[in-house]
Amino acid sequence: MSESTSTEQESPIAAAPTSLWTGLRPQLGLFALLCVATFFEGFDTKLTSFVQPVIRDTFSASTAEVGVSVGISGLGMVAAFAVVLLADVVGRRPVFLGGLFAYAFFTLATAFAPTLFVFTVLQFFGRGAMVVELFLAYLILSEEMPSEIRGRVNGLFASTAALGAALPAGLLAPLEAMDIGWRGLFLIGAFPLILFPLYFRRIKETRAWSERPPGGSRYGQDFARIARSLWRSQDRARLIRVTCIWFAVNFWSGSALYFFTNYVFGERGWTSADLAWLPFGTIPIGIAGYVFSGFLMDRIGRRSAATLYLCTAFLASAFCYRSTGASAIYLGYFLMVGMSGVWTIVTTWTTELFPTESRATALALANNLFGRLGIVFGPIAAGMLSSFFGSASLAIILLSSITLLAIPIVWSLPETNGAGLLEPSGGE
């Protein structure tokens, strides 16, 4: 098979209309349900980042202890690997539903955490379950949507996570004024538990997984054999490369985005009242960043879109952390949030690079097992390097340059724009 793509053979789904509304309409109910679930996933994901300064006071912990807590809880995202790859064995639906229920349950439990240790343990499982829900939602959409609109649908879908992620900053101050504080944010984040019966009834298995080749295909049905076959196959080279891109994206997020609240509270004298202004920029720019990423994917391809977002992510980080005025810091952070749309690009790309039989396994290996280590080491590296320099400014800029190092790897991977996902295919 040529290097161009591992999903070159067009399936019936690839012949669907190019109009976004026409292509999306038959799956509008599914799209809406996944958007609601991912809205709260985005909300819950940001909680750990935004409540760092206040949980430090609640639990009488040091900045270093909170940083370690965030890093350890991030390991849950790595552990999610073992769950995500099950989607290639038992199907997309049960794994998605399990992830949805688990992240809402552990978010609720976190609201009652009595110590930093318990908080960390609950978030370890909660953040892992969030990753499971998010990437199964991406996988379900990628397999159900027409190939010509896949990028735009995924970009629009991801914008709901951006909207959810923007809200905690605006709610923290009012909740503190009501003497509820950060615990109230976790209570709100558990809302999907109420809707779970609806998801259980309405979410169906994807057509691509249901119509996959029967047992005895080159990847088999057992997840361990799938993983071994994937590693030994010709897909190994692209798996290694896309994993490196995932690590860079996660490392940038773990340092530049996750460390922002610690930076402005510790070095710029901000308070929760200052954070209340963030949604006014993060909501429109975050949504625009995700939606635009989908448009770019379908218009100029996955490689060019990823390159643009990775370059701009570094520039936005440098602008944010080198600025001293509040307005400039706000703007820099807004732009960083907008560049989180690179997640949509890399996720969509990863699902297209591998055949149905190993698609979830490849995503689990590339992002959850290895790529998510960036989320673990990003905050730790930011804390250590900030202590070394005496400020987070130069430290974050240096760490953010990892996005530039990923660009040559981006261009070593095949372009998959318009690839159908119903036909199994070979590797490189």
Taken in order of first residue, the domains within the chain and their CATH numbers are 25-206+219-410 (1.20.1250.20)
Can you say whether the dihedral through the CA atoms of 80, 124, 160, 133 is positive or negative?
positive
pLDDT category of residue 18 using cuts at 50, 70 and 90: low
Letter for the amino acid at 322?
R
Given this model, what pLDDT does residue 300 score? 94
* Residue 311: other Cβ atoms inside 10 A: 14
Whether the pLDDT of residue 52 is over 90: the answer is no
Q: How many CA atoms lie within 13 A of 127 on its CB side?
A: 26
Tens digits of residue pLDDT in 117-147 = 999 999 999 989 998 998 899 899 989 988 8
Alpha-carbon torsion, ordered 263, 403, 67, 103, to 10 deg? 110
Region 276-303 average pLDDT: 89
Given this model, what pLDDT does residue 424 score? 40
Instruction: List CB contacts of 224: < 8 A, sequence separation 6 or more.
Output: none
Quote the mean pLDDT of the chain: 84
Taking only Cα atoms into account, the Rg of the chain, rounded to an integer number of angstroms, comes to 20
Tens digits of residue pLDDT in 337-366 = 999 999 999 999 998 998 887 888 888 889
Percent of the chain with pLDDT over 90: 42
Given this model, what pLDDT does residue 278 score? 82
Map tokens 């994901």 to a residue: 45
pLDDT category of residue 428 using cuts at 50, 70 and 90: very low
Map tokens 């049960």 to a residue: 94
Q: How far apart are CA 313 and CA 385, in angstroms?
A: 20
Map tokens 């080491």 to a residue: 377
Which helix (H) or strand (E) segment holds residue 164: the answer is: helix 150-177
Letter for the amino acid at 71?
G
Query: For the whole model, what pTM was predicted?
Result: 0.77
Region 188-193 average pLDDT: 92
Tokens for 422, please give them: 């119903």
Q: How far apart are CA 52 and CA 41, in angstroms?
A: 18
Can you say whether the dihedral through the CA atoms of 241, 307, 162, 417 is positive or negative?
negative
